[in-house]
Amino acid sequence: MRKILVLVFTFSFLSISLFAQKNEKVKDEDAFYIRKIYDAALTKGKCYEWLTHLTTRIGGRLSGSPQAAAAVEYTRQMLDTLGLDQVYLQPCMVPHWVRGDKEEVRIINSTSRGTINLNATALGNSVGTGKRGISAEVIEVKSLDEVDELGKANIEGKIVFYNRPMDPKQVRTFNAYGGAVDQRVYGPAKAAEYGAVGTLVRSITTRLDDVPHTGVTVYKDGVKQIPALAISTNDAELLSSLLEDEKVRIYMQSTCQKLADVVSHNVIGEIKGSESPEKIILIGGHLDSWDIGSGAHDDGAGCVHAMDVLQLLKRVGYQPKHTIRCVLFMNEENGLGGGKEYAKISNEKGEFHMAAIESDSGGFTPRGFSCDGDDAIFTEKFKQVIKWLPLLEPYGLGLSKGGSGADISPLKSQKGLLFGFRPDSQRYFDYHHTDIDNIDAVNKRELEMGAASITSLVYLIDKYGIK
C-alpha cells in the first residue's frame, strides 16, 4: 500500500511539474514573440512616416472637406501596399460644416484696459454671426445650472461666458475633461433657451496659454441657434478678472455655416483568419480631425497605430487565427457617422467582433488598455484577458476596467470585449482640438511604442481567443 501511495505521489508530482514546465514554455514563447513585435515596431515601423504625410501633406481633415477625401484615398493606398487580403471603402453620410473667415473676438472699450483682441475659434457646428458681427454685454457663469438659475431676465440679449476650468486635481486628464466639456457641448444651446445672443467658452485644457481649442457644440431642436466660440485660457482669465470690477461688452464675428450632408468613407483593411475568420479583432482610430490644426494626436496617431498593427503582423510573419481588421472611421468629431454606419452594416451582416480596440488618446507613451463590454459577458471575459498582464507589464502596460472608444462603442451589443488604448494623458489636452496639434508635437519613439503595444494585445487575443 505504501509503495502504491509513493507511486501515486511521484506520478502526481511529475504531472504537476510537466504542466508547470509546459506553461512556462508557453509564457516564454509569448514573451519572445512580443519582444519580436517590439523590435519590429522600433526598427521597421511605418506609423511615423504615415503620420508625417497625413499631417504635413494633407493637414486638418474635417468631415466633408477635400482634405478628408484626400486622407481617405491616401490611407486606402497605404493599406493596399501591405499585401492584405482585402482593402475597401465603406460609404457613410457625414455632416459638412465650414469655418469660413478667421474669427474675431474683442473686448470693447474696457474702462481699465481699452479694446483688447482675444484669441478665439468657432466651435464645430456653430452658426455664424454674419459679416457685421454682434456686440453685447457679457455675463459669466460656471455651469449650465447657473444659466437656469439666472433665467431669462438676466440672460436675454447678452453673451454668456462659460468659465469652468478643467479640474487640475484629476490625475487622469480625461476625467477632468469629462467634468468640464458639457459647457462647450451643451452650453450654447442652454444659453439660447433664455435669449442669449451668443456664447464664449473657456478652452477645455489644463494649460494656461493663448491657444484656443475648438470642439463640437450641439444645438437643441426648436431653440434658436446662436454663435458659439471658444477663447484661450489666458483670455478667459483676463475676461473674468475684468468682470469682477466692471461691465464688459464683447464684439464677436464669424462666418461659419452648416452645409448639406455629404458622402464620405470609412477605410478598411483586413487579414483573414486561418481558423475562425468569422470572428473579428478590430483595431481602429478616426480619420477625421478638426480643421484648425493637422490632427496629429487627435486622431492621426490612432489611425497610423491601427494601420501599423497590420504592417507589423505581416512583417513578423504572423498568420492570425481570427480576422484582423483595421478600420479608419470617418466623422467621430462632429457626429460619429462612420462608427454608427460601420456597426449598422456589421449587425446586418451578422458579424461578431470578438474584440475591438480603439486608439483615440494620442501618440504619447503607452500606459495600457481600459476594457469595457456588455454587463452580461464582461466579468467572465475580462478574467481571461487579465491573465496576460505578466506579459504586458514589462512594457509598462496595464489592463483596467473602464471605457473604450466612441467609434467602437456601437459594437457593444455584439457582446465582445471593447478596449481603449491608454497612453500617458498629461499632455494630451495641451494639443487637443488646436492649431498646434501637428507632427512636431509627436515623439516618433512614443508613437512606435504605441503600435507595438496594440499589436502585442492583438497577438494575445488572437492566439488564445476570448471565450
438 and 301 both lie in a single domain: yes
Helix (H) or strand (E) holding 134: strand 134-141
| pTM of this prediction exceeds 0.85 | yes
318 and 442 both lie in a single domain: yes
The confidence score (pLDDT) of residue 18 equals 37
Report whether 404 contacts 371 (CB < 8 A). yes
36 and 169 both lie in a single domain: no
Whether the predicted pLDDT of 4 surpasses 80:
no
In a domain, 21, yes or no: no
3-state SS class at 319: coil
Residues counted in the chain: 467
Helix (H) or strand (E) holding 421: strand 417-423
Whether the predicted pLDDT of 121 surpasses 50:
yes
Please identify, among 209, 237, 255, the residue that sits at the C-terminal boundary of a domain.
Answer: 255
Write the DSSP assignment of 228-280 as a string of letters.
EEEE-HHHHHHHHHHHTTS--EEEEE---EEEEEEEEEEEEEEE--SSEEEEE
Average pLDDT taken over every residue of the chain: 95
Q: Strand 134-141 and strand 249-253: pairing?
A: antiparallel
77 and 178 both lie in a single domain: no
The confidence score (pLDDT) of residue 425 equals 96
7-16, 147-156, 201-210, 217-226: which range is least confident on average?
Answer: 7-16
318 and 413 both lie in a single domain: yes
- pLDDT tens per residue, range 201-248: 999 999 999 999 999 999 999 999 999 999 999 999 999 999 999 999
Domain containing 279 equals 32-97+260-464
- Residues 6+ away with beta carbon under 8 Å from 262: 64, 93, 94, 96
CATH number where 198 lies: 3.50.30.30
Q: pLDDT grade, residue 458 (50/70/90)?
A: very high
Integer Cα distance of 216 and 200 in angstroms? 13
CATH number where 439 lies: 3.40.630.10
In this prediction, residues 143-168 reach a mean pLDDT of 98
Please identify, among 233, 255, 277, the residue that sits at the C-terminal boundary of a domain.
Answer: 255
Grid look-up 505504501 returns 2
Integer Cα distance of 83 and 59 in angstroms? 27
3-state SS class at 457: helix
With the C-alpha atoms ordered 147, 149, 152, 154, is the resulting torsion angle positive or negative?
Answer: negative
Q: pLDDT grade, residue 23 (50/70/90)?
A: low
The confidence score (pLDDT) of residue 389 equals 97
104 and 57 both lie in a single domain: no
191 and 251 both lie in a single domain: yes
Cβ neighbourhood burial of 375 (10 Å; 0-12, 13-18, 19+) = exposed
In a domain, 344, yes or no: yes
In a domain, 174, yes or no: yes
- pLDDT tens per residue, range 318-356: 999 999 999 999 999 999 999 999 999 999 999 999 999
Helix (H) or strand (E) holding 141: strand 134-141
CA distances from 354 to 50, 116, 155, 346 (A): 28, 55, 51, 13
Can you read off the three cell numbers belonging to residue 1?
500500500
49 and 129 both lie in a single domain: no
In a domain, 72, yes or no: yes
Please identify, among 206, 237, 255, the residue that sits at the C-terminal boundary of a domain.
Answer: 255
The confidence score (pLDDT) of residue 180 equals 98
Domain count across the chain: 2
Helix (H) or strand (E) holding 412: none
The confidence score (pLDDT) of residue 25 equals 60
In a domain, 9, yes or no: no
- pLDDT tens per residue, range 251-276: 999 999 999 999 999 999 999 999 99
Integer Cα distance of 101 and 103 in angstroms? 6
3-state SS class at 299: helix
Whether the predicted pLDDT of 250 surpasses 70:
yes
Q: pLDDT grade, residue 379 (50/70/90)?
A: very high
In a domain, 16, yes or no: no
The confidence score (pLDDT) of residue 27 equals 81
The confidence score (pLDDT) of residue 307 equals 99
Identify which has the larger pLDDT, 72 or 17: 72
In a domain, 232, yes or no: yes
The confidence score (pLDDT) of residue 200 equals 98
The confidence score (pLDDT) of residue 11 equals 43
Can you read off the three cell numbers belonging to residue 447?
508613437
Q: Strand 114-117 and strand 398-401: pairing?
A: unpaired
In the sheet that holds 134-141, the strands lie side by side as 114-117, 104-110, 249-253, 134-141, 159-162, 198-202, 228-231, 120-122
93 and 105 both lie in a single domain: no
84 and 208 both lie in a single domain: no
In this prediction, residues 403-431 reach a mean pLDDT of 98
The string over 118-155, giving b where at least 16 C-beta atoms fall within 10 Å of a residue's C-beta and e elsewhere, is bbbbbbbbbbbbeeebbbbebbbbebbebbeebeeeeb
Whether the predicted pLDDT of 8 surpasses 50:
no
Report whether 60 contacts 291 (CB < 8 A). yes
248 and 310 both lie in a single domain: no
Grid look-up 491616401 returns 74
250 and 276 both lie in a single domain: no
Q: pLDDT grade, residue 26 (50/70/90)?
A: low
In a domain, 292, yes or no: yes
